[in-house]
Structure 1
Amino acid sequence: MIYNFIKKYLGNPLLKNSFFLLIGSYFNVASGFFFWIIAARFYSIEDVGVATALMSSLGLVMLFSNFGFDHSIIRYLPINDKDKVFNSCLIITVISTIIVGFIYISSINYFSSSLSFIQDFKFMMIFLLFAVMSSITSIMGNAFVAMRSGGLFFFQNVLQGVRVLLLIPLVFLGSFGIFGSVGISYLIATLFSFLIIKKHIGLNFKIDKAFIKESLSYSSGNYISHVLMVSPTLILPILILNLSGEIETAKYYIAYAIGNLVLIIPDSLGTSLFVEGSHGESLKKNIKKSLIAVYSFLIPSVIFLYFFGDILLGFFGKNYIEAFELLRYFALSSFFVVAYSLFVPIQKVRMKIESIVKLNLLRFLLLLGLSYAFISIFGIVGAGYAWMLTHIVLGILIYLLVKKNEWI
């Protein structure tokens, strides 16, 4: 009976892809959990704080480098020439990553003087290499998702788990040892991805001008939207480093990392909803399935983190338990994040990019503005207040918009 249920469940493309995206994301979070436990035990809390800002810097470079092609590859790979779509997205992303990375490093003193050491030539070259590898891994991961090969996406995440094994050997590098462990794992995942992807797609490393022209509007709109959506979470560690120092940054990041145990649930199903919508599947039917799946996982996960999150924080060290209240706000806010996480992919499928840009601009302004104000008053728990209030406002607006247009 259980076997038949699992077989039927995995026979549905939406649920199958969601399943692999979900367990892939959970594996990533689980390995990240052990990664930060080991980092907290073998590195100083100051090193952890600086390392989180370094990884946020890497994330910002990736974010500003993709120009929306990480989304276009999901939207266009199923309906266009796979070789032209993949190679164009890959080459443009790699070139732009090098350029954006160099600009970011050159101007790092304007963002955070604590990270100015990456302007040293050796560190700069390593940072740029890791940035390129992480961008390639991202593009190839999205290609696996677009091909409905969620299993390959999952295995890619498994390979990135090697970062855990690299922490102790690199401890002599301090904060850059933590950062280096992540970067090397991207390098390994990139090599694996190339070996697999060439069996499905011809690698000619050429940019197809016709595809670029066709996808430019969609890619640029998604680029602006994605920058507005993701940048606040990447800017926050750097903001906290500047406002409160390395120790508070470390506490914030660990609480946020654990909070991702529930935040990835709506994100994974939202991504799968986007993929299935791009393949022409019924949005209305899949939304209902997604909502049931989201809350089936979400409710018990939030309850666990709300009551026992301090135990998880304790694994990192007694200093991190002070972030328990912040963790609770991250967990509770996930109930409100659901509306946002499902609404955005629906609008992507409907090609309503302008509405997503407006929504993400509001989220950008609210989250960063409230975080700056609340952190200055309440400390790092203020980031939790800002996170929850922002998504409550967004949830209300989305509900009013959906009701006005009679989409449900």
Structure 2
Amino acid sequence: MKNLNNIKQYLNNHLYKNSFFLVLSRVFNVAAGFIFWMIAARFYSIEDVGLATALISSLGLVILFSRFGLDFSIIRFLPGSDKSKVFSTCLIVTTVSAFIVGIIYISGISFFSPGLSFIQDSGYAMVFLVFAVMNSVAATTGNAFVAMRRAGHFFFQNVLLASRILLLIPLVFLGSFGIFGSMGLAYLIAALFAFLILSRLIVFDLRVDKQFIKGSFRFSSGNYMSNVLLAVPTLVMPILILNLLGEAEAAKYYIAFAIGNLVLIIPDALSTSLFVEGSHGESLRKNVIRAGLAIYSFLVPAVILIYFFGDFLLGLVGKDYAEASELLRLLALSSFFVAVHSLFVPVQNVRMRVESIVKLNLLRFLLLLGLSYVLILKFGIVGVGYAWMVTYAVLGLGIVVVVKRMGWF
């Protein structure tokens, strides 16, 4: 009876309840992604897969630069503000900017990635821009679900994103753009679902609230800068490898990285939930301790599993991909350091100490990109694993020093 009451207590705790659906979303999305790439590897050439990963990363860069930190502000300010004004402002600004940034990116693609210059063709360019807008809408609406503690809707949105698997084979005649197109159409489906649900929860106001933009500017701009520094190295890596080592190596790297991210499901979900609960006024230190215990309880067995059976998982995708097993092991081991970073960032966001996150992610940006470039030339794609390990070890030590100064231990 006592155990039953404990389970009931956990289910009623917003941190764990929201985290449950966020973890479920991540697990489902990663599983669907694994199936997606396994099918892609069967029906598309390794060169097509490598080119598609660079296209997907390009789309990710467009979305990243078009957010302006509003994906963080919607979580931080939606709970205690006029939901209609906050949501509508975030949606309008990010959607319009995704279209504009997409045009700029396409215009300069032949300069920084000649291998992708074919998307400057009017047909490919228009499809790319439509997918960028749909991706942006799906991301904003997903953040709104999380901010409103409606992570169950967020989970179903991710279920709809799995429709990309069903679209892979019918679009195989398009080559690399077939892989990219299946993902873009899935974002369209997810965005339409989110609009349908949110129309019952929020009154849409097709105006930009200047007061909200002004009031949240410091927080939004700080997080924008921080998130750009955080995400750019990861998104640039497939494009960098494509241009340095070719399509096949880019494909091997991307698949290893996707599987390596399996161990970060719990840290990422609990980090987001920690931010949400802190924004709702819950005890920060208590939730950090809870989240930390949950994260490392999961990480230890997950890393052991990936370390010893990672080559088997890569082999399921395709025999060529098993060559990235050493990279996968390094990525898995580095997750112990990554988790420290994942816990620290939401704490500083709740405390409105965005400047410290910007400095931390600037250091990560310089270390990870600089080391990766040098080590890729020397060791191939395994060099990314070495760079990842060293970067997060340095960051972890720095965070421990800062937290000690905060008097948390």
Taking structure 2 as the reference length, the TM-score comes to 0.99
Q: Give a deviation string over 1:156-194, Cα, whole Å, max 9, x none.
A: 100000001110000000000000010000000000000
Match in the other structure for 1:284: 285
Amino-acid identity (%)? 67
1: distance between equivalents of 2:59 and 2:40? 18
For 2:83, the equivalent position in structure 1 comes to 82
User: 44-53 or 2-11, which moves further after superposition?
Assistant: 2-11
**Partner of 1:122 in structure 2?**
123
Where structure 1 has 5 or more consecutive residues not aligned to the other structure, the ranges are: none
Structure 2, unmatched stretches of 5+, are: none
Q: What amino acid maps onto 1:329 in structure 2? A: L
Aligned pairs for 1:136-215 (under 5 A) are 136-215=137-216
The amino acid that maps onto 2:340 is: A
**Worse-matched range after superposition: 4-13 or 151-160:** 4-13
The residue that corresponds to 1:231 in the other structure is 232
In structure 1, what residue type is equivalent to 2:283?
Answer: S
Does residue 373 (structure 1) correspond to residue 358 (structure 2)? The answer is no
Q: Which residue of 2 aligns with 1:263?
A: 264
Query: Are 2:391 and 1:390 aligned?
Result: yes
Q: Pairwise mapping of residues 316-331 of structure 1 onto structure 2 (< 5 A)?
A: 316-331=317-332
- Name the stretch that deviates more: 6-15 or 94-103: 6-15
- Render the CA deviation track for 1:265-307: whole Å, top value 9, x for unaligned: 2111111000000000001100111011111211111110000
Instruction: Please give the alpha-carbon distance, in whole angstroms, between the structure 1 residues aligned to 2:171 and 2:80.
Output: 44
- Write the distance in 2 (CA, Å) between the matches of 1:66 and 1:212: 13
Indicate the residue corresponding to 2:338 in structure 1. Answer: 337
Deviations 1:283-342 (A, max 9, x none): 110011101111121111111000001110001111100000000011110011111001
Is 1:104 equivalent to 2:85 in the alignment?
no
Instruction: Classify the secondary structure of the residue corresponding to 1:262.
Output: helix
CA RMSD of aligned residues (A): 0.9
The code of the aligned residue for 2:101 comes to: V
Q: Report the CA distance between 1:3 and its aligned residue.
A: 5.3
The total of aligned residue pairs comes to 408
Instruction: Give the C-alpha shift of residue 4 in structure 1.
Output: 4.4
Match of residue 47 from structure 1? 48
Where does 1:337-356 land on structure 2 (aligned, <5 Å)? 337-356=338-357
Q: Identify the residue that residue 218 of structure 1 maps to in structure 2.
A: 219
Distance 1:5 1:47 in 2: 50
Alpha-carbon offset, residue 407 of structure 1: 2.6
Partner SS state of residue 205, structure 2: coil
SS at match of 1:199: coil
Pair 1:303 & 2:304 matched? yes
Q: Which amino acid aligns with 1:111?
A: F
The DSSP-based 3-state class of the residue aligned with 1:79 is coil
Q: Give the whole-Å Cα distance in 2 for the aligned partners of 1:220 and 1:292.
A: 32
Q: Give a deviation string over 1:362-387, Cα, whole Å, max 9, x none.
A: 00000000000100000000000000
Which residue pairs with 1:359 in the alignment? 360
Deviations 1:221-280 (A, max 9, x none): 110001001111000000000110000000000000001111232111111000000000
- How far apart, CA to CA, are the structure 2 residues paired with 1:260 and 1:286? 23
